[in-house]
């Protein structure tokens, strides 16, 4: 392996020390509420990890579990109650939601000043027009990881693969905004000849939800590769019966890249860290009112 490993666990640990100190310095305890609808195993495992991280940072966390049969109105009612609850500074609705619930209707019900995911139309719009807002956690974590890898984004060509609202679109906006100053190409499932774009990139961010989207022959020597994927591959030799792989062929890309994030231990821990960061920031703002 030629590439340097970009260690999300290490950067997270450093940032979480700062966050815990920030929590300890506040008179009010920051509170995060997570709404989980149904029992999607990946979602359950994310939510469990978020709760553990809150406890370790000295934050209050509340989990609201609803059955997969819950109606949209029931989920919106839970969000509305949390909007009014002074112990809660951050509200997160774990996505995806069951198909009969409109995600945008639920997300739009979150008070923008408690939207620590940065998913509401207000915060997503502010990001687009360059106003201060809660930054979405995974894109924010990715920018921090690129900085941590010592990669200057100014003047660089970043290629983002995937156009989701959670990762692709916001990370493209963050890399292109003033201060980051990358030139950004946004590729997606309808892009013909993806390799033509990725081979031209100094930084490649892959968020497609599809293993092996990026292989070693698709990148330029020395490129920085950020793998956002978390895919469960059946593996009877593992205690849980599966292993996690990203969207990137790690072994192949690590031969060619200058630096690369592993899965697990790359982007994943940073998402939760930036969620804690936003929750602390929200509690600070509420305390200052």
Q: Shortest Cβ distance from residue 49 to ligand GUN (Å)?
A: 11
Taking CB under 6 A as the criterion, the residue among 166, 203, 254, 256 binding ligand GUN is 166
CB of 234 to ligand GUN, least distance (A): 21
**Euclidean distance between the first and final Cα of the chain, in Å?**
52
Q: Which of 117, 202, 247, 249 is catalytic?
A: 117
Active site residue 220: no
Q: Could you say whether residue 94 binds ligand GUN (CB under 6 A)?
A: yes
Residue among 51 and 255 whose Cβ is closer to ligand GUN: 51
Cβ-proximal residue to ligand GUN, closest one: 95
Residues 245-274 that bind ligand GUN (CB under 6 A): 271
Q: Are strands 242-245 and 231-234 parallel, antiparallel or unpaired?
A: antiparallel
Q: Supply angle C-alpha 247, 105, 34, rounded to 5.
A: 65
Q: How far is the CB of 96 from ligand GUN (least distance, A)?
A: 7
* Residue number with CB closer to ligand GUN (36 or 259): 36
- Which parts of 54-93 interact with ligand GUN (CB under 6 A)? 92-93
117 binds ligand GUN, rule: CB under 6 A: yes
For CA atoms 129, 135, 137, 140, the dihedral sign is positive
Angle at 215 between CA 213 and CA 218, to 5 degrees: 100
94 assigned to active site: yes
Half-sphere exposure of 200 (CA within 13 A, CB side): 12
Rg (CA), the chain: 19
Out of 78, 94, 144, 202, pick the active-site residue.
Answer: 94
Binding ligand GUN (rule: CB under 6 A), the pick from 47, 101, 137, 256 is 137
Measured CA to CA, the distance from residue 256 to residue 247 in angstroms comes to 16
C-beta of 136: minimal distance to ligand GUN in Å? 7
Alpha-carbon gap, residue 151 to 14, rounded angstroms: 19
Q: Minimal distance in Å, beta carbon 181 to ligand GUN?
A: 25
144 annotated active-site:
no
User: H/E/C letters for each residue in 64-109?
Assistant: EEECCCCCHHHHHHHHHHHHCCCCCCEEEECCCCCCCCCHHHHHHC
Residue placing its CB nearer to ligand GUN in the complex, 252 or 265: 265
For ligand GUN, give the closer residue by CB, 49 or 95. Answer: 95
Q: Which two tokens stand for residue 134?
A: 């809660």
Residue 213 engages ligand GUN in binding (rule: CB under 6 A): no
Out of 61, 138, 198, 261, point to the residue binding ligand GUN (CB under 6 A).
138
Q: Does the footprint of ligand GUN cover residue 95 (CB under 6 A)?
A: yes
Torsion of CA 84, 86, 90, 93, to 10 degrees: -40
Q: How many residues does the chain have?
A: 289
Least distance (Å) from ligand GUN to the CB of residue 114? 13
Bridge partners (DSSP) listed for residue 184: 158
Residues lying near ligand GUN in the complex (CB under 6 A): 92-95, 117, 137-138, 166, 271
Question: What residues act catalytically?
Answer: 50, 94, 117
């Amino acid at each position: 392996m030629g590439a340097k490993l970009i260690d999300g666990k290490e950067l997270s640990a450093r940032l979480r020390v700062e966050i815990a100190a920030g929590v300890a310095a506040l008179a009010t305890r920051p509170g995060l509420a997570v709404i989980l609808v149904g029992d999607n195993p990946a979602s359950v495992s994310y939510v469990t990890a978020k709760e553990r991280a809150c406890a370790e940072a000295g934050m209050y966390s509340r989990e609201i579990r609803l059955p997969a049969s819950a109606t949209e109105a029931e989920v919106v009612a839970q969000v509305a109650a949390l909007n009014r609850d002074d112990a809660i500074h951050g509200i997160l609705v774990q996505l995806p939601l069951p198909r009969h619930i409109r995600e945008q209707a639920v997300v739009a019900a979150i008070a923008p000043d408690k939207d620590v995911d940065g998913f509401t139309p207000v915060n997503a719009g502010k990001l687009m027009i360059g106003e201060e807002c809660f930054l979405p956690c995974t894109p924010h974590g990715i920018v921090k990881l690129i900085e941590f890898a010592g990669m200057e984004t100014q003047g660089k060509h970043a290629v983002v693969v995937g156009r989701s609202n959670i990762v692709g679109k916001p990370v493209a906006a963050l890399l292109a905004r003033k201060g980051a100053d990358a030139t950004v190409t946004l590729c997606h499932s309808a892009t013909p000849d993806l390799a033509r774009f990725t081979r031209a990139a100094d930084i490649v961010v892959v968020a497609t939800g599809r293993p092996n989207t990026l292989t070693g022959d698709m990148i330029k020597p020395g490129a920085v590769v950020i793998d956002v994927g978390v895919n469960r591959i059946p593996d009877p030799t593992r205690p849980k019966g599966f292993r996690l792989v990203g969207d990137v062929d790690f072994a192949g890309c690590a031969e060619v890249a200058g630096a690369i994030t592993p899965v697990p231990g790359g982007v994943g821990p940073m998402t939760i860290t930036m969620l804690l960061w936003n929750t602390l920031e929200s509690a600070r703002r509420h305390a200052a009112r």
